Amino acid sequence: METRARHFKANAAAALANPVLQANLKTSKSKFVDKRAIAIQELDDFEGTREAAKNIRDRVLNNLDLWLEKFEETATARGATVLWAKDSAEICRHVVDIGRRHNVKKAAKSKSMLSEEASLNRALEAAGIQPVETDLGEYILQINDNEAPSHIIAPVVHKSLDEVADLFHATHKTPRKTEISALTREAREVLRPHFLSADMGISGGNFLVAETGSVALVTNEGNGRMVTTLPRVHVVITGIEKVIPTLEDLALLMRLLPRSATGQSISNYVSVLTGVKQPEESDGPEHLYFILVDNGRADVVGSEFHDMLRCIRCGACMNHCPVYQTIGGHAYGWVYPGPMGAILTPLYTGLENAIDLPHASTLCNQCGVVCPVKIPLPELLRKLREKQVDGNLRPLFERLALKAWAWVAGYPMLYGMATWFGVRYLKWLADGKSSIPILGAAPEWSVGRNFPAPEGKTFREMYAKKKGKQ
Amino acid sequence: MSSREDILGRVRARLKRNEANAVIGRADINAALTARAHGPRPAVPTEKSALAGRFREKSTAQSSTLDSVATITDAPAAIARYLTELKLPLHAVVSPSLARQNWQGAGIKAAARGAQDTDLVGITDCFCAIAETGTLMLCSAPDRPATVSLLPETHIALVPASRIVPGMEDAWALARAELGTLPRAVNFISGPSRTGDIEQTIVLGAHGPYRVHLVMIEDL
C-alpha cells in the first residue's frame, strides 16, 4: 500500500472536519475500552501474564534467525512449503506464482494486514485471480472500491450502519436493510458461494508455533476456518516476527490477545493448523504455503526499536489513544494506525515519509499501560522524534528556533532578559484578557484553543520578590 | 542471493551472530521446547464437578446452550428434543466418529460424512473441553471432518464431563499424550460465530453456525 503518511496534518484536519466520521468515532470510542477493562479482571495476575508474554516474545526475537530456521524445519516436516519475501513486490510475486502453479481462479481471503502492506488484491486481479475479502469489515471495504481499513481489528469502525446499508443496497441490488443482523445475514449469503468455489485460501497468521510448525489463527466470524478448510490451496502470509516457541506459549498469549483487542475472554475460533490434508481426510488444503515477510522488519531487529517487534496486533493502543479516538485511522496514511502505526509506518516506509506521525501523540502513555506485551510506545515515539532531529528531517524554521533557544538558554543573563521581554509581549498581546486567541509567532498552538496569557512577570521576578519579603 | 539468505543474513548481522552465541541460542531453543513452561494461569477449580460447573457457566456466557444426559446412548433423544423444540429439521450431518450412535431410533435422519452447504444441522463430538473459557477443542481426523462444526447453521456437540480440563495448557498436554503429533486442524470453538464489525454491535451467526448446543454426557 502506498503511504500517504506525509499528508498527516491535512488528513487529520479533514477527519476533524468530517461530521459523519466524528459521529461514528464517538459511537465506537468507549466500547472496546470498557469491555477490555472488565475482561482483564478475569485474570488473577494480569501484570504477571503481561510480563510472561513480553518474555515469550523477547525470547524469540533475541534469537530470531535460529527460531525462524526451527519453524521452517518443523513446518516443512509436516508438508508445508516455506517461502521468504523481502518486500511487497515479492509477496505478490509468490502468491501469483502459487496461484498459477495450482490453476487458481479465485482466492478467498481472511484478514491479513500483510496483504494490505503489499496491496495484494491489485496484484491478484492483474494476474486474473479474483480476490474475495471474507471478513465482514474487509468485505465492506472491498466493495467500497477497495477502501483502506481504519483499524486493524475493526476495519470499518469509521462507518455507520447507514453507510453500510447504502453500500449493500447499491452493490447487491437487494432491498435496503436497516438491521445490523440482516446486513450480516446478507453478507453471509453473498460470501458463502465464494468460500465453496475458491481454489485458494489466503490468511494472515496471528502466531507461528515453532514447536509444531503450525499457524494459529484467531477469528470470530469463522471466515478464517472457511478459507483454511475448503480451498485446495492455503497460503499464510505473515511477518518474520510472529514466531512463538510452544503451544503453551500460545495458551498464555491467547489470554491476552482477545481481551486486549475486543474485551473477549477468548475469540470464537482459535485454529491451530499444521501441515496438509492427509490422504484419508475429506477436507483441508492439499497444499500449504507460508510466506515469511521481512518488508522492513529485519532491520528493526536489534535496533533501538527492537521492542516494537513484540507487537501482537491487538489494537489496544489505538483504542485507548486520544489522538486515534479523535481522528480515526485513515489519517495515519498507511496500513497501521494509532500509536503502533505511528512507530511502524516510519520504521517500515522511511522516517522521511512519515514526518508527523511520531508527533501524533500526547505521550500520555495510555498505550504503554494497556499494551499486553509491554512495548514502551511513548518512549519509542520519543526516540523517533530524536532521530528526526539528528537526521535534520524537521522543518528549517523549527530547527533554527530550537538552536536559537538552546543558545539563549546557555546564558542565564540573556535568558532572563529574553523571558522578561517575552512575558510582557504576551501580556500586551492578551490586551487585558486572560488568554490569547491567536499567537502570532506560532499560530498552530492557538488553533482550536486559546493560549493562556502570562500575568506580566517572569518566575524569576516573582521568586526574587517573594524572597525579598521574607 | 536468495531472499531467505538475504533476510536471515540481515537478522544474523543485527543480532551479531557468531558460532559461540549460536550454540547458546540453540540451547535456549531446546530448553524452551523441552520445558514447555506455563505462565501465570487464572485459578480454575480442578475438582471434577466444579470443573463441569465452570465449563457450564463460561460456555453459556459465550451464548452456547447446554443440556446434559446420563450416558451417550441418551444423547440422540436429547438432540431430537432440542431440534423439535427449535423447529429445526430432524436431518443432520454427523461426524463419522458418531456414526454408530442410534440416530434413527431417536427419529434423526443422520448422514455420517463431511458437511455440505445444504446441511442445516451438524453433530460432532469433541476431543476435550476447557473450563476456563467454556471452549470446545475439536481435532480433525478422517472420521472427524472440520466442516461438520463449521458449515451448518446449527452445531451440536457432545461433551463428556470426564473430558473437561481446566485450561488450554491441559488440553495440549492431553493431545500430546493421546495423539502424539498434532492433527491437521485443531479448532477451539467458543460459542456461535459472531461479528462486531458494524458499529461494534455483536451479531451471532457470521460465517459459521448461528447456534451452538452442547450436550454434556455425565458418565461416559
Q: Which amino acid is at B4?
A: R
pLDDT, position B220:
54
Prediction ipTM score: 0.98
| CA atoms within 13 A of residue B115's CA, in its CB half-sphere | 31
| Cβ pair A273:B185 closer than 8 A | yes
A176 has a chain B CB within 8 A of its CB: no
Q: Which three cell numbers stand for residue B107?
A: 427419529
Report the residue of chain A nearest B29, measured CA to CA.
A67
Check residue A456 and give its pLDDT: 82
Chain A residues with CB under 8 Å of B117 CB are: 192, 196
Check if the beta carbon of residue A426 is closer than 8 Å to that of residue A446: no
Q: List the pLDDT tens digit at each of the 470 positions of chain A.
A: 889 999 999 999 999 999 999 998 988 777 899 999 999 999 999 999 999 999 999 999 999 999 999 999 999 999 999 999 999 999 999 999 999 999 999 999 999 999 999 999 999 999 999 999 999 999 999 999 999 999 999 999 999 999 999 999 999 999 999 999 999 999 999 999 999 999 999 999 999 999 999 999 999 999 999 999 999 999 999 999 999 999 999 999 999 999 999 999 999 999 999 999 999 999 999 999 999 999 999 999 999 999 999 999 999 999 999 999 999 999 999 999 999 999 999 999 999 999 999 999 999 999 999 999 999 999 999 999 999 988 889 888 888 988 899 999 999 999 999 999 989 988 888 888 888 877 776 777 777 778 888 888 899 889 988 988 76
For residues A380 and A317, the answer to whether their CB atoms sit within 8 Å is no
Domains in chain A, please, with CATH? 49-298 (3.40.50.10420), 403-469 (no CATH)
Q: What is the pLDDT of residues B8-48, one digit of tens each?
A: 999 999 999 999 999 999 999 999 999 999 999 999 988 88
The alpha carbon dihedral of A236, A242, A246, A249 has a sign of negative
DSSP code string of A279-333: TT-SSS-SEEEEEEE-TTSGGGTTSTTGGGGG-----HHHHT-HHHHHH-SGGG-
**Structure confidence by residue, pLDDT tens digits, A419-451:** 999 899 888 888 888 888 777 767 777 777 788
Q: What is the pLDDT of residues A250-307, one digit of tens each?
A: 999 999 999 999 999 999 999 999 999 999 999 999 999 999 999 999 999 999 999 9
From the list A35, A47, A1, the residue with the least C-alpha distance to A371 is A47
In DSSP terms, A271 is beta-bridged to A217, B187
How big is chain B by its Cα radius of gyration, in Å? 22
Residues in chain B predicted with pLDDT less than 50, given as ranges, are: none
Q: Which of A45, A196, A220 to probe the B interface (max B CBs under 10 A)?
A: A220
Q: Are A260 and A36 in contact (CB under 8 A)?
A: yes
Quick check: A318 contacting B, CB < 8 Å?
no
A with B: how many residue pairs have Cβ under 8 Å apart?
250
Query: In angstroms, rounded to a whole number, what is the distance separating the alpha carbons of residues A257 and A153?
Result: 11
Asked if B86 reaches chain A (Cβ–Cβ under 8 Å), the answer is no
Closest CA to A179 of A196, A191, A190, A165: A165
Report how far residue A256's alpha carbon sits from residue A246's, in angstroms, rounded to the nearest whole number. Answer: 16
Q: Are B95 and B112 in contact (CB under 8 A)?
A: yes
Nearest CA in chain B to A225: B150
The structure's pTM equals 0.94
pLDDT digits (tens, 9 = 90+) for A451-464: 888 888 899 889 98
From chain A, pick out residues whose CB is under 8 angstroms from the CB of B172.
Answer: 247-248, 251
Q: What's the CATH superfamily of B48-217?
A: NagB/RpiA/CoA transferase-like (3.40.50.10420)
Q: Does A44 touch chain B (CB under 8 A)?
A: yes
Interface of B with A in 55-74 (CB under 8 A): 58, 61-62
- Structure confidence by residue, pLDDT tens digits, B48-59: 889 999 999 999
Judge whether B185 and A211 are in contact, CB under 8 Å: no
Name residue A107's amino acid: A
Residues A368, A340 contacting (CB under 8 angstroms): no
Q: Which residue from B7, B189, B200 is facing A269, i.e. has the nearest CB? A: B189
Cell of residue A223, nine digits: 471466515
Backbone φ and ψ for B155, nearest 5 degrees, come out as: -115, 125
H/E stretch holding B136:
strand B135-139
Distance CA A84, CA B41 (A): 36
Q: Which of residues 98-157 of A touch B (CB under 8 A)?
A: 134-137, 140, 154-157
| Residue B23 sits at the chain A interface (C-beta within 8 Å) | no
For B:141-160, CB contacts with A below 8 A are 141-142, 145-147, 150
At residue B186, φ and ψ (nearest 5 deg) are: -105, 120
Cβ of B203 within 8 Å of Cβ of A181? The answer is yes
